[in-house]
Amino acid sequence: MTLRFGVIGTGAIGRDHIRRMTNTLSGGEIVAVTDVNQEAAKQAVGQFKLNAEIYPDDQSLVNAENVDAVLVTSWGPAHEQSVLAAIKAGKYVFCEKPLAATAAGCMNIVEAEIKHGKRLVQVGFMRRYDSGYVQLKEALDSNMIGEPLIIRCAHRNPSCAETYSTDMAVTDTLIHEIDVLHWLIDDDYKSVQAIFPKKTKRALDHLQDPQIFLIETERGVHIHAEVFVNCKYGYDIQCEIVGEEGIIKLPEVSSILIRKNAQLSKNILMDWKERFIDAYDKELQSFIDSIRETGEPSGPTAWDGYIAAVTADACVKAQKTGVREPIALKEKPDFYQDGSESKR
């Protein structure tokens, strides 16, 4: 059976997911959309020629009888309400990061899903589906380099919006490393310290950019994570893992080699939509396939969303205090003890 989707939020990534669901993926169909900007919802229906009804709000959409699953692609602070409404209506829900704006909000969702009695929620941590990160995970799971000791990573955007704030370097950007790194090494975070290097001239007065986060894990791995959102040269994601027996590194994005004007060069992407286009396709196709085959999603769980929120809260506190801040997670419920660290 085709999974019938309702979309809450028809902005940038909402339309990108509608596009892939309509043109690329199989087994899913958009039958409902809503946006607080109803004109945006109407435009999305027209742009993709959807046979979909426009609903006034998330509540009416999740309760629609012909909606089996919900895509939450609204602004982060609105996610918790929509996800809780979907769970209450017994609907599957794919929620873009963040699952909720606070750790407490994520815990509300965890408790609601456990009370419902089966998994409904997948969080849009798409890097777990990126072929480069999958190769890193396979190498680590096979003990290729022995115990991981050090991770160096960088999350660089060519530029950011004027509204982008210092804490968004954590909640909007570093959140991807926060999720993918503990999944990669199957370890928990212990503490974090934020460092503000010399500021780039391209950052507005209110924004600290770049930033460095020094994260320690429970098993003693040290992570040096750079966030630089006005790097100008490109959209560049780097990740290198130093182990006891060797080093593994995220592959560069495929590009032709250009020999011209006495130079040898490669292209660098400029946009996150293009850099992770395959990962977005795979995460959503996996959501559809897993629900159709097993009755539950198999991707990043609401508990992964909680881990990300607790860690992000500690990173934001570290930005303010300048000292090493603890990252204290609650005990993982049995409901999520399915070895999901080794799954997507």
Ligand X SMILES: O=C1[C@H](O)[C@H](O)[C@@H](O)[C@H](O)[C@H]1O
Residues forming the site for ligand NAI (CB under 6 A) = 8-14, 34-37, 40, 58, 73-76, 78, 96-97, 124, 126, 172, 272
How many residues sit close enough to ligand X to count as binding (CB under 6 A)? 6
Q: Are 157 and 179 in contact (CB under 8 A)?
A: no
Look at residue 87 and give the partner it binds from ligand X, ligand NAI, none, a contact being a CB closer than 5 to 8 Å depending on partner kind. none
166 binds ligand X (CB under 6 A): no
- Sole window of 79-87, 171-179, 214-222, 303-311 interacting with ligand X (rule: CB under 6 A): 171-179
157 binds ligand X (CB under 6 A): yes
Outline where DSSP puts E strands in 124-185: 148-156
Cβ-proximal residues to 57 (8 Å cutoff; 6+ apart), any chain: 34, 36
Q: Give min distance, CB of 29 to ligand X, in A.
A: 26
Q: Give phi and psi for 237, each to the nearest 5.
A: -115, 120
Look at residue 40 and give the partner it binds from ligand NAI, ligand X, none, a contact being a CB closer than 5 to 8 Å depending on partner kind. ligand NAI
Q: Are 339 and 202 in contact (CB under 8 A)?
A: no
From its phi and psi, is residue 93 left (phi > 0), alpha (psi between -120 and 50) or beta? beta
Task: DSSP for 253-264, please give it.
Answer: PP--EEEETTEE
Scan residues 255-294 and list those touching ligand X (CB under 6 A): 272
Q: Give min distance, CB of 216 to ligand NAI, in A.
A: 26
CA 75 to chain centre: 14
Cβ-proximal residues to 182 (8 Å cutoff; 6+ apart), any chain: 188, 189, 217, 307, 341
Nearer to ligand NAI, 37 or 321 (CB): 37
- Sole window of 109-117, 169-177, 238-246, 255-263 interacting with ligand X (rule: CB under 6 A): 169-177
Nearer to ligand NAI, 28 or 124 (CB): 124
Classified as helix, coil or strand, 1 is: coil
Scan residues 211-250 and list those touching ligand X (CB under 6 A): 229
H or E segment to which residue 8 belongs: strand 3-8
Q: Give min distance, CB of 125 to ligand NAI, in A.
A: 7
Instruction: List contacts with ligand X (CB under 6 A).
Output: 157, 172-173, 176, 229, 272
